[in-house]
Structure 1
């Protein structure tokens, strides 16, 4: 089954989390004597369940080439997970709604122009899907005790064959 790709927008992605970009800020503030614009409170960091703590990491993703077969999704039941690209390269975001503890029908989004994403706690998603070249991402997620990773093998894989729908 072919999976269409839509452009990543804050409204389309809201059921799964937040898009990290200036337009999604709850408030815009001038700080540091007016020399800096703060795009405030773009996405919550939800990591405190079961004594968790925030982690900041860098993930380096090897690029995928089309077609991309999606056979597995994962989620983090104890905390959110945010990805912010450190380069201006597009990447794919594949998410699915939860249906009684398993992923529903996946949806794909093309992130461009340094857009980041923050997956809400428990959101089914595919691991990092860099495009074009090796890409680094700043990642904010949960550290601490407890099992914060669940993986699900799809009974019917889906394939991304083109980015032309975006």
Structure 2
């Protein structure tokens, strides 16, 4: 996992350390607050898809509603193979302390919740040296990152979650994913349900 996610109290020499809610967990750590995810506020970084968003119609004698997503699923020729992966994620109940990021320079990457509550989407528009933007996704939000968008790994918020992920990969897998440390760690917070 690319960041330490605090799920238990910190201890020092066996003593529980308490942090005031207004103080960053680590000295010098910048603090950011996640906002609700919408297709409009994510458009520079990728696509948000969900049922009944975009073109929608009833099929099969009205028994099925088909919603067509406008999400792009692009890739470079160096990444010709579509890969389907699954993630089982334990929830983070407190602040996310991010220390590193990842990106996929050759492909979009789609995350589709299979079983989930809310989940956290964090991107770095200007790379690891810039500030992040954080979003709280709904349980039925499908997120597709554009190629090369620096982002944090999946973070489940309210309960354990399962995600399917699709991206294009090269034959060797080399260069499909790049990791980088953040210039300075950041704490991401969100509103509780």
Say whether the fold is shared (TM-score over 0.5). yes
Structure 1 residues 58 and 165 mapped into 2: Cα distance closer, same or farther (>3 Å)?
closer
The one of 42, 55, 62 equivalent to 2:83 is: 55
Three-state SS of the structure 2 residue aligned to 1:105 is coil
Three-state SS of the structure 1 residue aligned to 2:136 is strand
Matched, 1:124 2:142: no
Aligned-residue offset at 1:93: 0.4
Q: What is the CA–CA distance in structure 1 between the aligned matches of 2:130 and 2:53, rounded to whole Å?
A: 26
Structure 1 residues 103 and 22 mapped into 2: Cα distance closer, same or farther (>3 Å)?
farther
Structure 1 residues 163 and 51 mapped into 2: Cα distance closer, same or farther (>3 Å)?
closer
**Deviating runs (4+, > 6 A) in structure 1?**
none
Matched, 1:108 2:134: yes
Three-state SS of the structure 1 residue aligned to 2:98 is strand
Q: How do 1:10-159 residues align onto structure 2 when only pairs under 5 Å count?
A: 10-25=39-54, 27-98=55-126, 102=128, 104-145=130-171, 146-159=174-187
Contact in 1 for aligned 2:117/2:161 (Cα 8 Å): yes
Structure 1 length-normalised TM:
0.86
Q: Which string of whole-angstrom CA distances, capped at 9 and with x for unpartnered residues, describes residues 85-114 of structure 1?
A: 112401100011135xx5532011001142
Structure 1 residues 109 and 86 mapped into 2: Cα distance closer, same or farther (>3 Å)?
same
Greater relative contact order structure (CA < 8 Å, 6+ sep): 1
The structure with the largest alpha-carbon Rg is 2
Structure 1 residues 22 and 53 mapped into 2: Cα distance closer, same or farther (>3 Å)?
same
Three-state SS of the structure 1 residue aligned to 2:32 is coil
**What RMSD, in angstroms, separates the aligned Cα atoms of the two structures?**
2.1
Structure 2 length-normalised TM:
0.75
Aligned-residue offset at 1:165: 9.1
Q: What is the CA–CA distance in structure 2 between the aligned matches of 1:165 and 1:108, rounded to whole Å?
A: 15
Q: What is the CA–CA distance in structure 2 between the aligned matches of 1:96 and 1:24, rounded to whole Å?
A: 26
Q: What is the CA–CA distance in structure 2 between the aligned matches of 1:51 and 1:77, rounded to whole Å?
A: 10
Structure 1 gaps of 5+ residues are: none
Aligned length: 162
Alignment match, 2:32? 3
Structure 2 gaps of 5+ residues are: 1-29
